A and B are shown apart, each in its own frame.
Chain A
Amino acid sequence: MKSFFDKGYQTPLWFKEKEFAKKVLRQQMSRRNILKSAAGATGMLVLPALAIDSPIQKSLARSKQTDPWLTLDATLAHLLPTSATGPSAGDINALPYLYQVMTVQPTLPEEKEFIVKGVGWLNGFANSEYSKAFVLLSINEKELLLRGISRSRAGENWLNTLLNYIFEAMLTPPAYGGNPNGIGWQWLDHQAGFPLPEKGQRYFELPARGKAKVKRTAKNTIPLRNIEMKRSTKA
């Protein structure tokens, strides 16, 4: 797949399982139909090693000078702009939150790949339309470009994924990297609960579950009793 407009694109299951799929669509489609349509979906293409996994990129400060973070930062800023009516992507730490989703939270690799690939597709489209990278476009050009990709299924899903992380950055406990000092809660007159998790207490840092050793094979499922019987036969 090379662009948002690839006709072969099908919405993957991980996306459908999130609850931010279009409300109207969800009402029309029974859960059963969703399952049926998912059955035909093909797996995502495997990408070369992602920039986000590179050990060199240790901090967001350095990372955001280059893609995918440079473009993601500009996209988030466009989706939730600075204005008098409420906090912006910058105010709610949307990029640090997303960085944390991609590098610290145990996010599905398919989803991370999709976010990164979308950056490539967005810049590919920006270059074809304006011969410039997305970050260098004017606000109006960015708007036209994003509206353009939102008319494709993949583009709509990519933007929806980012919007979902904007909501999370705005409304999750600040330990996850967004919502500094509860700025999102204050804006929306939302009373948070208590206690809130601190770093070290986040959902992926809770005590671990029991492990399974390697899956049992036919060999080691032979009851001990049978082995002993064989031995005694030999003796």
Chain B
Amino acid sequence: MNNINEVDFDICIVGSGAGASPVAYTMAKAGAKVLVLEKGPWLTEKEFFKDELAISIHDAYNPKLSEEQHVIEEEYEDEEGNSFWQGEATSDSGWTWWNGTVVGGSSNFMSGYFHRLKPIDFRLKTEFGAIDGANIADWPISYAELEPYYAMVEREIGVSGRVVEHPHQEPRSTDFPYPPISEVPMSSWIDKAAKKIGYHAVPVPRAVLSQPAMGRRSCEYSGYCSSYGCSSGAKGSGRAALLNHAVATGNCTIKPNAKVHKIATDAAGKITGVHYYDAQGRPKSVNAKTYVVACQAVETSRLLLASTGEKFPNGLANNSGQVGKNLLFSGGGTGSGDFIYDQLSEQQVKELKVVGPFVNRALQDWYQIDDKAFSGANAKGQAKGGTIDFLFHQNPIARARGTQWGVDSEGEDKLLWGEELKQSIKREFTSYKTLRFEVFNDWLPTDDCFVSLDDEVTDKWGDPVAKVRIGYHGHDLEVGEYLSLKAEKLLVALGATNISSSVSGYPATNLMAGGCRFGDDPKTSVLDKNCQAHEVDNLYVTDGSFMPTGGSVPYTFTIYANAFRVAEHIKQQWFNNRKIFSARGVNTPLHS
């Protein structure tokens, strides 16, 4: 077989994003030999541009759906009103589920809203009780156990922010290591309007450097952050912030364009190697002492399910049947309001038009809802709420699309062109600006949201693709709507018009977690509290898959923090094993 040959890596990590890079960084710095296998190419700052065609129109940093895709199962009703689930290949629907298939993964393309989870997120069941139809479980660790690692991420990844007094401010052991990134003048409008109606607008901590540090440049305020790759290195992607340093130690090998398709095991259930296809499509395999899977929730479950063996007929570490189950997204929705230039002073318009710095404002007043009027509350009138973030969009082609539609004299839609089109485009771009908000609330785990392998559709290498059932819990919509109405009130206080919001049960596919829950009971969880598989000693999962419940903020910060926590554990195990080897007078095969 075309192996890398020697059993010569201490640790082999599948994936290179926010879950993988802290392990590679920690272990490489400790002196371990690390191999990172990444399916996508290895790009640098020189290959990220503010190019709407590349990012949003042609999705150029992800595979083509004709080559690699998913099957998405949605619920339908037949004529008798009975529900059934029907799969649809994403190459047919055009609905991509890839979030950045390059070295550093989706962390290259994150907005970097780095809100921490709060203590109640770790004990949702205890705090709020069970909810019918939801598989809510407390985490096996507390906020206090993760807190030092949030602080570590703020230092190592580089988080810019400002602590303010706030009703739901979580405990912090340290201040932010970097001052806040620059804000647009409109941010102070939000502060004033929030105060006026009794809200607390909080500055959003961002994984974007406000000062040059750690060999990276500071933010250059191009105005196109969020889903765009960063060309200055300021955005704290796993690649820019961690993998570059890991490689610099001389201990970390990154193998891009390496598509892992199976983790093989022997009759005793011991991992015998990771099988992958190299850039030319040739089958290869590699061995290590410890294996880490961190391919983002859906693909991690897919890889484990595909990794069957004599001891694991249903997939690696899946004799419990829990792999792929209780997949999470983020509940919530989006909304917006317009500011019409004609209704504002010249100074206000000038302030509104500033492009480059960030809005950076969030509301967390209802992170915990304490409102008997809320229909989703428990007997005590309480429920878990969420976070609202405000932002501007900048993509001009997306904005232009739609301006070609007008109404004819009979009230029918008609295509515009000529002078009418020119006026329509000009009006769209120069008469108003839209402030948007995004609501993040818990996506409750249910039996209708999980990953399995599709029976028919395969990827370009011939392996079954992941099939994802995307059922949601009605409670998620109730919370999302409650929060959206709160956000709309702020837009009213700001003087916006055309205010609207939309909450739906369709998942935002860039916000995924779960599928390999951690927990104390091997019957109901895949991983133990250290994210080590209950059923396989030297296998860890360090992306967002571990989360039993997801919290009400974007996932990346917590994935980073947990991966640093698990990396410390792996490092200790590695040190301990080396001590045992030395005590026995055995050369470790790795550095001899």
Using a CB–CB distance below 8 Å, which chain A residues touch chain B? 13, 16-17, 19-20, 22-25, 31-32, 35, 38, 78-81, 83, 85-86, 143, 146, 150, 156, 159-160, 163-164, 167-168, 170-173, 176, 185, 187-197, 201-204, 206-213, 215-216, 221, 224
CA–CA, A35 and B95, complex, Å: 11
Asked if residues B419 and A83 are in contact (CB atoms below 8 Å), the reply is yes
Residues from chain B with a CB closer than 8 A to the CB of A176 are 53
Asked if residues B415 and A23 are in contact (CB atoms below 8 Å), the reply is no
- The 20 sampled A-B contact pairs (Cβ below 8 Å) are A22-B413, A23-B402, A35-B92, A80-B422, A86-B425, A150-B415, A167-B401, A167-B404, A171-B52, A173-B53, A189-B353, A189-B429, A194-B231, A208-B41, A209-B40, A210-B39, A210-B40, A210-B278, A213-B277, A213-B280
CA–CA, A38 and B89, complex, Å: 13
Residues from chain A with a CB closer than 8 A to the CB of B83 are none
Shortest distance from the beta carbon of A163 to any chain B beta carbon, whole Å: 5
CA–CA, A201 and B54, complex, Å: 10
Asked if residues A24 and B461 are in contact (CB atoms below 8 Å), the reply is no
**Contact with B51, one of A38, A170, A173 (Cβ below 8 angstroms):** A173
CB of B575 within 8 Å of the partner chain:
no
Chain B residue, CB-CB nearest to A150: B415
CA–CA, A197 and B67, complex, Å: 26
Asked if residues A202 and B401 are in contact (CB atoms below 8 Å), the reply is no
Q: Which of B398-444 contact A (CB under 8 A)?
A: 398, 400-405, 413-415, 417-419, 421-423, 425-426, 429-430
CB of B282 within 8 Å of the partner chain:
yes
Shortest distance from the beta carbon of A96 to any chain B beta carbon, whole Å: 16
CB of B47 within 8 Å of the partner chain:
yes
Asked if residues B405 and A207 are in contact (CB atoms below 8 Å), the reply is no
Asked if residues B54 and A206 are in contact (CB atoms below 8 Å), the reply is yes
Asked if residues A209 and B92 are in contact (CB atoms below 8 Å), the reply is no
Asked if residues A193 and B223 are in contact (CB atoms below 8 Å), the reply is yes
Shortest distance from the beta carbon of B163 to any chain A beta carbon, whole Å: 30
Shortest distance from the beta carbon of B41 to any chain A beta carbon, whole Å: 4
Chain A residue, CB-CB nearest to B355: A191
**Contact with A31, one of B93, B228, B259 (Cβ below 8 angstroms):** B93
Residues from chain A with a CB closer than 8 A to the CB of B256 are 210
CA–CA, A68 and B393, complex, Å: 37
Given A24-B413, A193-B50, A203-B58, A86 contacting B426 (CB threshold 8 A): yes
Shortest distance from the beta carbon of B220 to any chain A beta carbon, whole Å: 8
Residues from chain B with a CB closer than 8 A to the CB of A212 are 67, 277, 281, 459-462
Q: Known pairs A80-B422, A195-B49. 17 more at Cβ < 8 A?
A: A85-B419, A146-B417, A188-B430, A191-B355, A194-B50, A194-B222, A197-B49, A202-B53, A203-B54, A206-B47, A210-B256, A210-B278, A210-B280, A212-B277, A212-B460, A215-B460, A215-B462
Shortest distance from the beta carbon of A154 to any chain B beta carbon, whole Å: 13
Chain B residue, CB-CB nearest to A143: B418
CB of B141 within 8 Å of the partner chain:
no
CA–CA, A156 and B404, complex, Å: 11
Residues from chain A with a CB closer than 8 A to the CB of B405 are 22-24
Given A23-B402, A163-B404, A210-B257, A193 contacting B222 (CB threshold 8 A): yes
CA–CA, A107 and B553, complex, Å: 38
